[in-house]
Structure 1
Amino acid sequence: MKKFVKIFVGLIGFIALIILCFVAFVFLKWDKKYDAPYPELAATQDSTLIARGKYLVYGPAHCAGCHNTTERMLRVDQGEDLTLIGGAEFVFEPGVIRSRNLTPDMETGIGKLTDGEVARVMRNSIGADGRPIFPLMPFQNMSDEDVVAILSYLRSQEPVNHFVKPTEYSFMGKAVLALGLIKPEGPAGTPPKSIKIEPSEVYGKYLANSVANCVGCHSPRDLMSGEFIGPKFSGGLEFEEVPGALFVTPNLTPDPETGIIANWSEEAFVERFKAGRVYEHSPMPWGSFARMSEVDLRAIFRYLKALEPVSNKVEKTQYMLEVGGSN
């Protein structure tokens, strides 16, 4: 019996040592810094590019919705062109991710950052301080012209002094960072210089993957690291935006049995987006997407219809839960 107790105590001590070593590793290694070249892209005062940037920011790229306070996000969703003062909080298992102030304010915004530093955030998910950015922005393969357009619009805003608390990571989030599961992601190859704006599958692929982030929400993902864990565009990602309301993203592939738009016409697709929000707490940025041009919407539809069908039945896209219970 004494031998058994001795072995048991030794085992407990060994496990405790492993845990202590892991905790020490996390706190020593989570705050990693990364480096990547600064894109040689610069803002311009060209009115055409500024207009394109504004369209992207309030439309398909939906920057204005995320980079505002919660109250202002609702107003942007309803069609107001509010400056991007930041402050939205996104609560995930890794922690509380806060959107930054993107106005050219010198103290609290991007006024002191170079165009290259801002472009590197978009292209490589690396902040000005060298820390990795949680993979919520899919702009790594955005065209040079569109990156410049967005930079130009951001610089054209009125500076607003609005302090936003830094992102705060939980212990699990810090562990993921320490293990390198959240790390900078650069372009897949060389991003295009420009993209032809037309209702084509090519332009639709660009919008769905590199601008509007349809792929990011309509694909199975590990919400701890942001990694894709299933067929892209097959749906099934869960969002509980408010307690009691669970939203599940539908399958966007043209699978005839489980794809939500498999039997939609192009006109029905365009009309649905132009109609805007139906469910109050849907995580879909309907207000921004309702501003999209018909050319962009038709391009996305044609790309989605050309995808490889994936059988993934999403029973419902909206569940009303009892708080503290299950659906």
Structure 2
Amino acid sequence: MTKQVIICVDDEKTVLRSLKAELQEAMGNEYPIEIAQGGEEALELIGDLLKEDYEIPLIICDHIMPDMKGDELLKRVHFVSPKTLKIMLTGQADLEAVGKAIKYAKLYRYIAKPWQAEDLRLTVKEAVNSYLQEKKLAQQNTQLQILNQELEQSFAALEASHAQMKVLNQTLSESESRLAQFLDAIPVGVFVVDASGKPYYTNQTGQQILGRGIVESATTEQLRQTYQVYLAGSEQLYPKERDPIVNALQGKSMRVDDMEIHRADKIIPIETFGTPIYDESGNITYAIAAFTNITKRKQAEKLLAQYNRTLEARVEERTQELSQALENLQATQ
């Protein structure tokens, strides 16, 4: 587990001792509390801690110190540890100092001295929880990026399969047996109907996704009901006018990603590409559809949407808190 520490900075030893005691009482033994008497000592301490792979969830510092003002210290802390949350604790800060701390150091909160013990305790706990939540969201974002990379590789494989289908279009009439062996080897579902719309062939991957093989008695009108093809997120059979197979029989190539196969035990979202197959005379002899299971992509999109909503809410909440702090400060000037 990563080592974490909270830092307190003030030029007065009595204030530091009091602050450390209150934080230890609030946080217990969960977080060590380090103290520094002035800005330069604080920067040296932070440098040493970072070299030892410590995380610094929170730093609390005074504004008026002989060697370095609090807003300048927080600005320099932000440069070396941007994820650390910053609280400025002082009885002498002005609007300019708070504004600089917000702009250059992303100040988390401003607390006037003398502070109220309960207010300090709640603020520190809230800040640490906020740090941990943002860290968790960042880890989830990294996982989503990895998943997106995997999905992009899957999409590239699908595009490669589509390119292979062009080759198949040229060789289908020459060797149906050879074609069937090739189609069974690719990791993409393939479904073929003849010129009249009757099911002709599906490969092994297609059978695994659809949950069944060829139903020779099914007509074009019955295909969606036979194979339980629905519009994504609904109980409505997929519209005929958007069906890639139907369009392919009319000479149109089409790709859709809002199809679902409703199985008895699960629902499988699929992306489908349909295209016509022509003979030497230019007549449509078959319609072929390539489809792939996009369950992982849909899950990634859902997680990414949830992450974005959470992040937007936190940004809005933080903005409101800082605006209120500035308003309160202005009211006291």
TM-score by length of 1: 0.21
- If asked which structure has higher relative contact order (CA below 8 Å, sep 6+), I would say 1
Structure with a larger share of its residues in helix: 2
Q: TM-score, normalised by structure 2?
A: 0.21
Q: Tell which structure's C-alpha radius of gyration is larger.
A: 2
